[in-house]
Amino acid sequence: MWKSRQGRGLVWIYNQELEDQLETLTLSIGTGGVALFALPCDVAHVTPERAALLAQLSSGRPGAAVRLNENPDLLSAYSDQLDRLEELLCSKRRQRLQYVESLQKSKGGQRELAGQLVSAWLSFWRDVLIVRSGAELPLVNQQRQPFLQAAARQLNLAQVEAVLDRHEKALAQLDAYVNPRLTLEYLLLTLPILTDCRGTN
């Protein structure tokens, strides 16, 4: 269960099972998201679900999480990236390649844009893994449960783990300056095509 506590100028958002770690500021980031997270008191109104999302998107860095919380456009972009993923998972491979082609016309660095997309998509697949495995862990994208469940129904655990692995490798390739277009094309071509998309809006 997620709880919050205030002290030393911070608001702690934490998992009750790990309460004894509060004094050490230990971050546990993995498949289940962040188990312990701190935010300044002026953002104490954040819900545990929002804190989990901010922690996931900021890789557990409180400063980055605060900036995300203060900039609704960034969270809106994250939501748009997940909307696009849902569409692509229900699309043919040709349409996926056309999407990557369309990104070449976007403003800004292609490597940075690709990194943002893959990072957002990775959070989605971590949630799919939680749903598919039946683990009692909080979902980062709680509001997307219908589609998460639709994806989990159509893939076995090994397939979900393979998808997660490919996303993590894609991020490593982008960090190693592999061509971002080729990285995205390969990633999208290897993603499963879902036949039951009733979880989409």
Strand intervals (E) in the chain: 2-7, 10-15, 29-30, 33-34, 36-40
Contacts of 74 by beta carbon, 8 Å cutoff, 6+ apart: 57, 67, 68
Answer whether residue 2 shows pLDDT above 50.
Answer: no
User: Quick one: pLDDT at residue 13?
Assistant: 44
Please write the tens of the pLDDT for every residue from 24-80: 333 333 333 333 444 444 444 666 667 767 776 665 666 677 777 788 888 899 999
Q: What is the pLDDT of residues 86-133, one digit of tens each?
A: 999 999 999 999 999 999 988 778 999 999 999 999 999 999 999 999
pLDDT at 137 over 90: no
Q: How far apart are alpha carbons 201 and 183 in whole angstroms?
A: 28
d(Cα 55, Cα 66) in Å, to the nearest integer? 9
Report the pLDDT value the prediction gives residue 72, as an integer from 0 to 100: 81
pLDDT, tens only, 143-163:
899 999 999 999 999 999 999
Per-domain boundaries in the chain:
2-70, 72-190
**Using 50, 70 and 90 to split pLDDT, how confident is the model at 165?**
very high
Query: What per-residue confidence (pLDDT) applies to 45?
Result: 61
Sign for the CA dihedral angle at 51, 52, 55, 56 comes to: negative
More reliable by pLDDT, 128 or 18: 128
pLDDT of residue 48: 65
Q: pLDDT value at position 157?
A: 96
Sequence-separated (6 or more) residues with CB below 8 Å from residue 157: 129, 132, 133
Q: How far apart are CA 82 and CA 84, in angstroms?
A: 5
pTM for the full model? 0.73
C-alpha distances out from residue 181 to 28, 104, 111, Å: 32, 8, 8
Residue 168 CB-half CA count within 13 A = 10
User: Considering Cα of 124, then 109, then 93, then 172, what sign does the dihedral take?
Assistant: negative
